Amino acid sequence: MKSANGINLTMLCDFYELTMGNGYFAEGMADRITYFDVFYREVPDEGGFAIAAGLEQIVDYVQKLRFSAEDIEYLRGRKLFSEEFLAYLADFKFTGDIWAVPEGTPIFPREPVITVRAPAIQAQLLETYLLLETNHQSMIATKANRICRSAGGRAVLEFGSRRAQGIAGAVTGARAAFIGGCAGTACTVSDQIYGVPAAGTMAHAWVQMFDTEYEAFEAYCRTYPQNAVLLVDTYNTLKSGVPNAIKAFNKVLKPLGITKCGIRLDSGDMAYLTRKAREMLDAAGWSSCTITVSNSMDERLITNILNQGAMIDSFGVGERLITSKSSPVFGGVYKLCAVEDADGSIIPKIKISENVGKITNPGFKKVYRLYDRTTGMAEADYITLRDEEVDDTQPLELCDPDVRWKVKTFENFRAEELLVQVFKNGELVYDLPDLRDIKARCSKLVGTLWDEVKRFDNPHNYYVDLSQKLMELKDSMLLAAGRNSNRIR
pLDDT, tens only, 332-346: 999 999 999 999 999
**Structural domain contains residue 113:** no
Q: Is 370 helix (H, G, I), strand (E, B) or coil?
A: strand
Residue 218 and residue 283 in one domain: yes
| Last residue of one domain, picked from the residues 312, 345, 378 | 312
Q: Find residue 340's DSSP bridge partners.
A: 346
Residue 261 and residue 373 in one domain: no
Residue 375 and residue 305 in one domain: no
Q: Find residue 316's DSSP bridge partners.
A: 157
Task: Tell me which residue range forms the domain holding 219.
Answer: 201-312
Residue 372 and residue 308 in one domain: no
**Structural domain contains residue 159:** no
What b/e sequence results for 351-387 when a residue is b if at least 16 CB atoms lie within 10 Å of its CB, and e otherwise? eeeeeeeebbbbbbbbbbbbbbeeeeebbbbbbbbee
Res. 356: pLDDT tops 90: no
Nearest-5° Cα angle at 324, 319 to 326: 100
Find the mean pLDDT for residues 456-465: 94
* CA torsion, ordered 369, 372, 377, 380, to nearest 10 deg: -40
**Structural domain contains residue 438:** no
Please state, as a whole number, how many other Cβ atoms lie within 10 Å of the Cβ of residue 427.
Answer: 10
In this structure, which amino acid lies at residue 385?
L
Given 3-state DSSP classes, what are the helix, strand and coil percentages for the chain, each rounded to the nearest 5?
Answer: 40, 20, 40
Residue 268 and residue 207 in one domain: yes
Residue 408 and residue 308 in one domain: no
Q: What is the pLDDT of residue 488?
A: 39
Percent of the chain predicted with pLDDT > 70: 97
Q: What is the pLDDT of residue 489?
A: 33
Q: What is the pLDDT of residue 482?
A: 76
Residue 308 and residue 375 in one domain: no
Angle of the 15-26 helix axis to the 83-90 helix axis, nearest 10: 110
| Last residue of one domain, picked from the residues 312, 343, 378 | 312
**Structural domain contains residue 350:** no
Res. 485: pLDDT tops 70: no
**Structural domain contains residue 90:** no
pLDDT, tens only, 236-281: 999 999 999 999 999 999 999 999 999 999 999 999 999 999 999 9
Contacts 24+ apart (CB under 8 A), 308-314: 308/271, 309/271, 309/275, 310/270, 310/271, 310/274, 310/275, 311/274, 311/275, 311/277, 311/278, 312/154, 312/270, 312/274, 313/154, 313/155, 313/262, 314/151, 314/154, 314/155, 314/156, 314/157, 314/183, 314/290
* CA torsion, ordered 105, 108, 110, 112, to nearest 10 deg: -10
Find the mean pLDDT for residues 212-235: 98
Please state, as a whole number, how many other Cβ atoms lie within 10 Å of the Cβ of residue 405.
Answer: 6
Among 153, 156, 191, 159, residue whose Cα is nearest residue 175: 191
- Name the phi and psi angles at 449, rounded to 5: -90, 140
More confident position, 152 or 407:
152
**Structural domain contains residue 373:** yes
**Distance between CA atoms of residues 63 and 451, nearest Å:** 39
Q: Is 389 helix (H, G, I), strand (E, B) or coil?
A: coil
Confidence of residue 484 (pLDDT cuts 50, 70, 90): low
CATH of the domain at 294: 3.20.20.70
Q: What is the pLDDT of residue 21?
A: 97
More confident position, 272 or 2:
272
Find the mean pLDDT for residues 183-200: 96
pLDDT, tens only, 147-175: 999 999 999 999 999 999 999 999 999 99
Q: Is 130 left (phi over 0), alpha (psi -120 to 50) or beta?
A: alpha
Q: What is the pLDDT of residue 5?
A: 58
Res. 47: pLDDT tops 60: yes
**Structural domain contains residue 89:** no
**Structural domain contains residue 376:** yes
